[in-house]
Every structure is written in structure tokens, then in C-alpha cells.
Amino acid sequence: MEDNKLTGLNRWLSDFLTPVSAPQWPGEIPHEVDPPIGKLRGSRSDGVYIYRGIPYAQPPVGTRRFAPPVPVHPWEGIKDATQFGPMSYQDGEGNFSEDCLYLNIWSPEVSNTAALPVYVFIHGGGYVLGSGSQPLYEGKHLAQQGIVVVTLNYRLGTLGFLPSAAAYEEHGTTGNWGLLDIVSALEWVKENIRAFGGDPSRVTVGGESAGSYAVSTLIVSPLAKGLFDQAIMQSGSLPNATAVAPENVLSLEQAHGKASRFFDKLGLKDDAKGLAALREEPAYKLLAVSAQSTLQPPQVAGFWPVPDGHVYHADPIETVAKGEINPVRLLAGFNTDEGSLFVPPDATEQQYVSLINSAFGDSAAEVLQRFPVNMEHSAAARMNQLITLGLLRSGLYLYADTLARHREVYIYHFDYVDPDIAATGLGVIHGSELKFIFNNLIDHDNWNDDSIQVAREVQSAWINFIKFGNPNAPSENQLWQKYDSASPQEMHIAEERTMQPVLDRDDVVFINQRLQRQR
């Protein structure tokens, strides 16, 4: 039995984290399309056109390293789009390169005048891992339901988020290179997606984990205004409103200080001369400069986005609270056991206390008093609970409360165990909803009728929201009610879907207050 547990978990971790590209489908037939940027040769399979590895910006190398992306030039002739492009440098083994700014498109077999809804999905991975070509995010099954699906790569880690003061002087922005890549991809979609049957005025941006953090930042970014009308946030909100990266969520001044220390490790200064030298260093050398950190997974060390006043405002939490954001429709939520994937099986109370101290700072004592380890709650259970509450759920309702004043908001609580990992006892883990939404990597040998029905309902809800701005089908009873901040409820997704009050709302309010007090 123990071997079965490990097999299921290892399979899931491989699906979720391993930097590999989805394989081509058997029997793909060549197909060409002619968007404004230039002709592409993709392929056709099971009623879907597939275009892989489309460059949306010039390679961010040389003087374009640690700089905003530069739009790709239109090309002559026909560019091959049958293979995924390289992924951003990251740990592991894979097709990695600085030349990584590529996107992928799955579209139904329709004419370029179809005006279908578009779903742009941003991958997770803590801003240090992942790609848009992972098998988990294969867009074919969603496209078969009448949606144009786009996934993309963006710069990760140091290459994606180093907040150089010299770069700020040069470009008026810094530390947000990966976010600027995503904005550039959205601009590419707006200009070219009609050729693939998509409607540039019907774009939904979605993401999970760090991808959800990115979506939350796009909602507050003036640069993204008009590039999307709807958003989906799965297990992640504005980093400033969470405890997922307390060493990384910094003011512009603090970020400059952290970058200066990075330059020091390479014997350089963060000035024009030092930046020029850093741009000439081999990428592997930059990635080898490790940052000292006391953070515990899923807390992430390194460099993360910076409120630089250009990509987003200096105080994004205040910006959200005031409603000075892009007023989009929102679908957002969390999984029951977000934290279990990151908790050591033999977690100790000392490890729990260490996590809370690093995550909550001056408020740690209050948090530990409210959530003690005792006979009823083990250290592992408390770590799972507080990671879920404070790292991957907090901040969600700040967005819901604000956006509900402008547009429709729908909140969910995903509470169904993936049958493929049920034997691990980890519950409804971080990222487990993705398989249900994309309908990929499902081993039906382990799935009963209830499992298959939940998968159908979850995918249908996402499809309905992308198509209509409402997770309910137009012809069915409006079971999934809109979020109301005066009486907040969320859709409980389990064997049966039911509306319920926000789970553990008093705890949510308590955690959010402590986190916002720290900022």
C-alpha cells in the first residue's frame, strides 16, 4: 500500500512540476494560418487546430536581459509552429533557454471570423518553475468545447524578476520582467487572435498558484487595462496580501537593496556599468548565485514582482481596497488541503512554529495562540491549515469584495479528492483542480461515475464562465450564486455542488487582518 501511495504522489508531482513538454497527438495533419504577425504552419487533430512555439517577443538576451520585452517583428514566409518553444531557465532538466518567450494556441476548426471566447492561461510554479507547454495544460479538450486556448512561457527566477536600480533608471520599471512578458503576450493576442477564430474583446486571463498571483497583479496593473475582460484566480492572490513570499514581497526601495546584494555576490555594483556586465554573464552563473533564506515550502525565496509604480502601484492592497483596478468579472477559489503537499509527513511543532514566525512576523504569537498544536490538531494538520489560509487563500476575498461592486464575482471551494492520489491521504491538494478543468492526465481506471461527473461539472463551470461570464449554463437553474460581500457564500464543489457560507470565515478575517497589519 505504501508503494501505491508513493506511486500516486510521484505521478502527480511529475505531472504538476516536471518541466517537460506535452507530446504531439498521433496523426496530426499540417495546417496553415495567416495572422498579421506572419504565416504559421501548425497542425490539426480531432477537430482542433494546434500552433506551438509562436514567438510573441524578441529573445530577451544581451541588452534585452533585465529589460521590458520587445515585440517580435513580422516575418516573411511560413514559420513552423508544430514544436513547443524552449522554456525559461529553471531547476531540473529540459529544453531551457533565455530565448523563451513563446506561446501556444489551440483553436476549434472554425473560420477566422468566428469570434470565439479566448482563455489565456498562466502557469504556476512559484515564479521559478513551469511552462505553458506542460502536459497538464494541454488545451485541446477545452478547445473542443468552443474556446480558443492560449498558454505561454515567461521569464522566471532571477532572469524574470531581478529588481535592478540601474534597470529602473534605464527603463522606468524594474523587477517585473516576467509580468511584462505576460502583458506583451496579451498584447500579441489582442492583435493576432482573430486569425485563430478568437475575439480580442472576449479574453479571460486565468492562472493557478503563481499564475493566479500574476492574474491578481494584472487586475491592478494599468498596463493590462483593456487586454482582458474576465479573470480566473485559482489558489493565489496578490502576494502583498499573503505570506507566501515574505522575503520577496518588498517595496521598491527594499527590492533595490536586495538586488544590490545580488550584484555584490558577483563583484559588481548595481549601476550602468555593473548592469552591462551582468547582461554579459552566462545565464547559468546568474542562476547559481543562491539567495540565503529561512523560508519553508511553499514559501518561495528569490526575486518576485515589485510594486514599482509602473507595472503596478506602490501600495497594491490599498489600490484594490479603493477599487482603482481593472473592473473584470472574476471566478476565484481554493482547494481544501492546499498545504498538505508541502508539509513533511513527520512535521514537528518546532517546524510549525518556524513557519508561522517566518510567515507572520510580529503577529506570529497571536496566530500560534489561535491555532495551537494540541491533542486535536497535530503539527502537520496545523501547517496544512495555515498554509491554506495564509499563503494560498488570503487576499482572495479582498478582490471579491472590491470587484463585486463593479462586475459579477463567483467564488468556489474545491473539495473533491483526485482519485489518482486518494491513497496518499493528502486530501484535496494544491493544484488538484487543474486536471478536472483541462481534462488531461486522467487515469479513468481509478475513476468511478462520481469522479467523472465532478470532472464534467467543473470543466463545464469554467467553460461557461469563459463563454458567458457565468459558471452556470444559460439554460440551467442559477445554482452558483454571485458573490455578495454582505452575505458571502461560495460554491462547495464535492460529489454534489452546493452553495455554502465562506468556509471558516472568522479565521479568514483574522489571518487577513494580521497579514495586512504587517504591510
Reported as a single tens digit per residue, the pLDDT across 104-138 is: 999 999 887 789 999 999 999 999 999 999 999 99
Query: HEC string of 158-178?
Result: HHHHCCCHHHHHHHCCCCCHH
d(CA 42, CA 275): 39
Q: In the prediction, which pLDDT does 519 show?
A: 56
DSSP bridge partners of 287: none
Q: What is the DSSP string of 289-312?
A: SPPP----TTS--S------SSSS
Contact 212, 124 (CB under 8 A): yes
CA distances from 309 to 236, 272, 457, 476 (A): 22, 21, 41, 44
Tell me the domains of the chain and their CATH numbers.
2-338+391-514 (3.40.50.1820), 350-385 (no CATH)
**Amino acid, res. 133:** S
Contact 156, 101 (CB under 8 A): no
Provide the 3-class DSSP secondary structure of residue 402.
Answer: helix
Rounded to two decimals, the pTM is 0.96
d(CA 489, CA 481): 8
Using one digit for the tens of pLDDT, what is the confidence trace for 188-243?
999 999 999 999 999 999 999 999 999 999 999 999 999 999 999 999 998 888 88
d(CA 368, CA 309): 35
Residues 43, 88, 164, 209: which is the catalytic one? 209
Q: Please tell me which residue, 296 or 8, carries the higher pLDDT value.
A: 296
- Residue ranges of E strands in 123-274: 148-152, 198-208, 230-234
Residues 187, 247, 338, 490: which is the catalytic one? 338
**Amino acid, res. 327:** P
Q: Is 465 left (phi over 0), alpha (psi -120 to 50) or beta?
A: alpha
Nearest to residue 203, comparing CAs of 60, 326, 355, 44? 326
Element (H, E) at 118: strand 116-122
Q: Helix-strand-coil percent breakdown of the chain, rounded to 5?
A: 40, 15, 45
Q: Is 380 left (phi over 0), alpha (psi -120 to 50) or beta?
A: alpha
Q: In the prediction, which pLDDT does 288 show?
A: 83
Contact 24, 46 (CB under 8 A): no
Residues 141, 313, 430, 492: which is the catalytic one? 430
Q: In the prediction, which pLDDT does 301 show?
A: 77
Provide the 3-class DSSP secondary structure of residue 8.
Answer: helix
Q: Which of 314-318, 469-473, 514-518 has the highest mean pLDDT?
A: 469-473
d(CA 96, CA 59): 13
Q: In the prediction, which pLDDT does 268 show?
A: 97
Contact 235, 209 (CB under 8 A): yes
Provide the 3-class DSSP secondary structure of residue 413.
Answer: strand
Judge whether residue 355 has pLDDT over 50: yes
Using one digit for the tens of pLDDT, what is the confidence trace for 381-424?
999 999 999 989 999 999 999 999 999 999 999 999 999 889 89
Please indicate whether residue 377 is annotated as part of the active site.
Answer: no
Judge whether residue 309 has pLDDT over 60: yes
**Amino acid, res. 219:** I
Cβ of 52: how many Cβ atoms within 10 Å? 24
Q: In the prediction, which pLDDT does 1 show?
A: 41
Q: In the prediction, which pLDDT does 179 show?
A: 98
Q: In the prediction, which pLDDT does 515 show?
A: 86
Nearest to residue 46, comparing CAs of 132, 135, 141, 110? 141
- Within 8 A by CB and 6+ apart from 390, the residues are 242, 243, 359, 360, 367, 511, 515
Please indicate whether residue 209 is annotated as part of the active site.
Answer: yes
The CA-CA-CA angle for residues 227, 229, 233, to 5°, reads: 100
DSSP bridge partners of 30: 43
Maximum separation of any 2 CA atoms in the chain, in Å: 69
Q: In the prediction, which pLDDT does 292 show?
A: 61
Mean pLDDT for the chain overall:
92
Provide the 3-class DSSP secondary structure of residue 18.
Answer: coil
